[in-house]
Amino acid sequence: MCRCDFDLPALTLELAELREQSAAPDLWNDSANAQAVMKRVAKLEGVTGTWTGLAAELDDAEALLALAAEEAEEERAPLLVEAEEQVAALAARFADLEIGLTLSGPYDDHAAVIDVHSGAGGTEAQDWAEMLLRMYLRWAESHRMKTEILSLTGGEEAGIKNASVRIQGENAYGLLRAERGVHRLVRISPFDAAHARHTSFALVEVMPELDASDPEIEVRPEDLRVDTYHASGHGGQNVQKNDTAVRITHLPTGIVVTCQNERSQNQNREVAMAVLKSRLLERELEKRELERLALRGVHVEAGWGNQIRSYVLQPYRMVKDLRTNAETSDTTAVLDGAIDPFITAYLRDQVGQDEGGGA
């Protein structure tokens, strides 16, 4: 069993208290608080309902086994088969739910902001960065998640230098945080007349999206430099006529955020501020995680030092996650967005690390 902060009786009690709050006549006097209460109620109803139902089914399986024990041998066999099938189904469901418990963090249900950066290598790396961006967009589409490209800088000949995309859907950040790190591609270069094999790198950063007005991360106006410029590439002709694109520089950290996808400067500024807060939060979360791993004696380099997955297209075909050893030879499916096995393996590995102890 994973060492997750999960206490069904406590969650049931919290649900009862929140239901009482939701029935208060003055609840909607504070609409933001009311929405937060109703969102939490819906989430707790789903969690408690699922686990209560699982417990009831387990009781049924135990009753069936008890009944089988009382029957004559010739009548016992079909009951035991039925009970075994029920237990096997329950075990599979429990395994899925156990993984779901790793998605109970404070930001796991947030939308995700993914930044993809091409590494050294010019056109090769820029093409690889675009392939990764497409992979995540296809993954989101397969999960019926909403995507929006916030900014994109194209390469000189092909591909992209960097891109930022928002992905909105159930547990988007909780799932996609598994993708944070350096992704390595080995292939015969389509841009090399000699058809030589090339190795390319791209960095993927994943952040939980915060609202621009979220008080959790405080950003002082005097710490910002805001520039506006003509948008290009996204937003259409109407955007490009005016200085609608916004670039915000956070002076203390040097973090730069751009947004050019919306049709007004105010909208772009609001989105850019939300992304800036997300990046500041992710920097803090990464710092805490590195401190936690250091206490456990695990050394992990941040940024470009943290290679997580290798995609080999030549001389053989293989995608392998270096953290979990999960692998597949179906590289085409992976690059078309079939990355769920890698995400699941990562989450299971996190469960195993928690069970192994440590800070």
Give, for 68, the enclosing helix (H) or strand (E): helix 31-70
Cβ atoms within 10 Å, residue 175: 25
pLDDT for 91 equals: 80
Q: What pTM was computed for the model?
A: 0.69
pLDDT for 3 equals: 39
pLDDT for 88 equals: 83
Distances (CA, A) of 67 to 70, 71, 82, 262: 5, 7, 12, 64
Cβ atoms within 10 Å, residue 261: 23
> At a CB cut-off of 8 Å and minimum separation 6, what does 245 contact?
228, 229, 230, 231, 232, 239, 258, 259, 260, 265, 268
pLDDT for 262 equals: 66
Spatial CA neighbour of 202 closest among 316, 328, 332, 307: 307
pLDDT for 212 equals: 60
pLDDT for 235 equals: 41
8-101: which CATH topology?
A: Methane Monooxygenase Hydroxylase; Chain G, domain 1 (1.20.58)
pLDDT tens by residue, the chain, 359 residues:
343 456 778 888 999 999 999 999 998 988 888 888 888 888 788 778 877 888 888 888 888 888 877 777 677 778 888 888 888 888 877 776 777 777 877 788 899 999 999 998 789 999 999 999 999 999 999 999 999 998 898 888 899 999 999 999 989 999 999 999 999 999 998 888 777 888 999 999 999 988 666 667 778 888 999 888 776 554 433 334 456 788 899 999 999 988 877 667 788 888 888 888 888 888 888 887 777 666 656 555 555 677 999 999 988 999 999 999 999 999 999 999 999 999 999 998 876 665 554 43
Strand order in the sheet with 327-328: 146-154, 160-168, 112-118, 197-208, 181-188, 307-312, 318-321, 327-328
Asked if residue 129 lies in contact with residue 162, where contact means CB atoms within 8 angstroms, the answer is: yes
d(CA 77, CA 25): 58
> What ranges do the domains of the chain cover?
8-101, 112-355
Asked if residue 76 lies in contact with residue 92, where contact means CB atoms within 8 angstroms, the answer is: no
Please name the CATH architecture into which domain 112-355 falls. 2-Layer Sandwich (3.30)
